[in-house]
Amino acid sequence: MTDTQDVDIRALDGRALQAARSYVDRVEAAALDRPTPCGAWTLGQLLAHMTGQNHGFAAAARGGGRALAEWADRPVGADPAGVFAASAAEVAAAFAEEGVLERAFWLPEVRDGGPFPARQAIAFHFLDYLVHGWDVAVSIGLRPAFDADLVAAVLPIAALVPAGPAREVPGAAFGPVLEDAAGRGGAGEDATGEGAVDPFDRVLRLLGRDPNWAPPRAG
């Protein structure tokens, strides 16, 4: 995991969470059956995952989080925006608590479960919500653009997410790395060295996302 000591990881995470919420706010209950870039997950399943993870990270920030039940998906029902907003407020409040950056977080779904330094754990959350915000947006037909400093901060984090068989199991949040994910040919160039590679496209490919993904047309 990239060094987070010199950045305000909580501020970055808060902005990523707010960006994700801005797209979830536009999701209607009738859209929850739509496909997403997250493998076989529907939009409803993705939002249930995102909501459950917010509550899990909040519990971990407060010294809990060891039990998988604390990280369980939480269906958003008929109020996707409201249910997700409540979870976002919960994790934001937990991350803002005094002394949280000196705590250790238990993350039972990551490697051996931890404990992980707070800044590293919050960096995981930052990555998840920037990418899942994109997932939500494209699932409802939007093409999001994130601030350049957020993308620059998240790219080295994405580059260190382990590859391997865990990416291939059903329900994995991130798929296998796609070709040209690391911008081969030099920093800022594509594999042939002929052109600039969009930094967020690199993030997406590192995490198994096709930057050109779009929902299938009805009919």
Q: Could you tell me which residues are beta bridge partners of residue 116?
A: 105
What domains are there in the chain, each with its CATH number? 9-168 (1.20.120.450)
Question: Tens of pLDDT along 60-115?
Answer: 999 999 999 999 999 999 999 999 999 999 999 999 999 999 999 999 998 888 89
Give pLDDT tens digits for 7-55. Answer: 899 999 999 999 999 999 999 999 999 999 988 899 999 999 999 999 9
CB 173 within 8 A of CB 130: no
Residue 186: pLDDT band (50, 70, 90) is very low
In tens, the pLDDT along 118-136 reads: 999 999 999 999 999 999 9
Distance CA 42, CA 47 (A): 9
Q: What is the CA radius of gyration of the chain?
A: 17
* Percentage above 90 pLDDT, the chain: 72
